[in-house]
Amino acid sequence: MTEFHVDPQGDDSWPGTEHRPYATLARAARAAREAAGAVVVHLRAGTHVLEETLEITGGNVVFQAYDHGTPGRERPVVSGGRRVTGWRVLDGVWVADVGDLDTRQLHVGDRRAERASIGALPGTVTGTETGYVTDVTLGWHNPADVEFVYRGVYPWTEARCPVASAVTARDAADGGAGDGDASAEGDDGDASADSDASADGGSGAVVPGSTVVTMAQPAFARARDLYNYSYGGHSSRGPGLPTRVENDTAFLTEPGTFVLDRSRPGHHVLRYLPRPGEHPERTPVIAPVLETLLRVTGAAGVTFKGLVFADATWLRPSADGFLHYHGGGYYEGGPVDKVTIVEGEAWVTVPRESALIPACVRVDDSTGVRVEDCRFTRLGATGLGLTGGADLTVRDCDFDTLAASAVTVTGGRAVLVEGNRVQHVGLDYSGSPGIAVGGTRDCTVTRNHVSDVPHCGIVAGPAHGTRIVGNLVTGSMGVLADGGGVYLSGPQGDGPDDGALISGNVIKDTRTPYNFALYTDYGARWVTVERNVVMRADNTAVLQVTPPLENVVYRGNFWDADPVGAKDVPAGVTYEDNTTIPEASALDAATRDIQAQAGLARPR
């Protein structure tokens, strides 16, 4: 076996030995590729800053923390971030010139900083074909940096669209709004907005002092194509009014928030309003720069042990918006289909095809890859994404402070996701599930603890032979609605031999007022749901969905309320030997053995 060492204090011209280590992971990875036979790369403590994505091909190599598996093990951090320095303080705000730095996240000390925001678009707001008109003067510093957030376009959806311009109408005496000219003097001189400010169903008048907000394209036009529905006698087109407005200097009023001003290309300015006790020279500020930290492609027999992956961003939403549909999927354009929910009463439009939020650490078309005892934190997209391949394992890892999901598994065979702790994920993209699998064969998700997530805890899309067994899901559905602690949709196999098994899971405190803790949805078939425990959910489960369930068995489950449809079980569902115990302490006592076997086998 060949061993190499890498230390941020080393030198790439050295031989990579323990006492003369390499300085960079890139150099160590190159040495590993060139070596014959098995290789172990030891990472010393400290921050290993990546200047570009670390590409791993080949195989038969272990990247691990120095002294991993011993009490003295070190904890190296693999980072795609940049420390921000050179702060000056203006009226209590930290200000730094950051050149062409572009990021959507910031981490100050040991905390995530939020982008500065306001609750909604001020004034009386009317929608137009290209954006909005509000009857107040907005006074934003750089509207092209501003982003609108639309929470609950559909109950399970949260979208983001960037602004192109926000222009205040001149007084009519100056030849402004009175003759349909909505141009104005902005911060950078004359600006213009689309003179067609006619509202959907409104008068189209732009009065002096009002502001015409023009949204960036094609994101806004796509949002109007995608988000359309009719329900309860009410029809709606487009995303509606924003529920939050982010990233302008005018919004910087809450300590612990930041704004990135990109009004001068190549001369960006970062502003941060500090919390009490923070100091510009002593408190570290890290801006994620890379989008992908690590990519393993076509490899075999690669292992990562004891590493921390941190500080990455995802810039696509800043330019093209984020038109979320469901889970980790978002719309990039293309055909939109109308789906009837109730004939003649309710329908919704959905994308025919969706893209998946990318992962900051990716394993593509590889075999025998192990990710063990690692931490994924401060990442601006999904933590770990496995695509294709076979014999993949994610075990005993911690996932926290992530903008999207912890783990996504797309395709692949014989994948094991075991013993991981997932918490505080989906911080920017609220529809993101904690763990998501789809298109897989023989994937097992077991003994994980998923907590404090904004939507579903564990999700399985169409697949074959999925086993979701012995997981603990607490505090799911914290932000969006219409989901569950464990959620399945679509066919889960071709018959009883390769269907899905959902067994021995404990789901507690599913929070929103419209959820189903155990949720088999949208034509799920060949699913067995048995010996699970549900406590404190809005609804424990649902048996009647559209399209209907087929060959779905609910057997031997324990909960504090009957599932929706339990008194009129549909033809495609077998419902037998389930126990409803409304009293909390009695339910707890009756399920103590199941609860003891759910969640982390080795708590940490």
What residue type is 465 in one-letter code? G
In this prediction, residue 181 carries a pLDDT of 37
In this prediction, residue 207 carries a pLDDT of 85
pLDDT tens string 35-80: 999 999 999 999 999 999 999 999 999 999 999 999 999 999 999 9
Q: Is the dihedral of CA 223, 229, 232, 234 positive or negative?
A: positive
In this prediction, residue 172 carries a pLDDT of 38
Closest CA to 122 of 107, 140, 141, 99: 140
pLDDT tens string 245-256: 999 999 999 999
What residue type is 206 in one-letter code? V
DSSP 69: T
In this prediction, residue 208 carries a pLDDT of 85
Q: Which stretch of 226-235, 289-298, 555-564 has the lowest confidence by average pLDDT?
A: 226-235
Tokens read off for 147: 């982003």
> Is 60 exceeded by the pLDDT of residue 201?
no
Q: Which stretch of 43-57, 168-182, 353-367 has the lowest confidence by average pLDDT?
A: 168-182
> Is 50 exceeded by the pLDDT of residue 176?
no
Which residues have C-beta within 8 Å of that of residue 455, sequence separation ≥ 6?
A: 156, 327, 426, 430, 431, 432, 433, 476, 477, 478, 479, 480, 483
pLDDT tens string 293-331: 999 999 999 999 999 999 999 999 999 999 999 999 999
The percent of residues in the chain predicted with pLDDT above 90, rounded, is 90
CB 216 within 8 A of CB 321: yes
Position 476 confidence tier, pLDDT thresholds 50, 70, 90: very high
In this prediction, residue 344 carries a pLDDT of 82
Position 187 confidence tier, pLDDT thresholds 50, 70, 90: very low
Which regions of the chain carry the CATH code 2.160.20?
A: 45-60+288-596
Over residues 496-505, the mean pLDDT reads: 97
Q: CA 173 to CA 175: how far, in whole Å?
A: 5
Which residues have C-beta within 8 Å of that of residue 498, sequence separation ≥ 6?
A: 441, 464, 465, 526
CATH fold, domain 45-60+288-596, is Pectate Lyase C-like (2.160.20)
Q: What's the whole-model pTM score?
A: 0.94
Q: Which stretch of 184-193, 219-228, 455-464 has the lowest confidence by average pLDDT?
A: 184-193
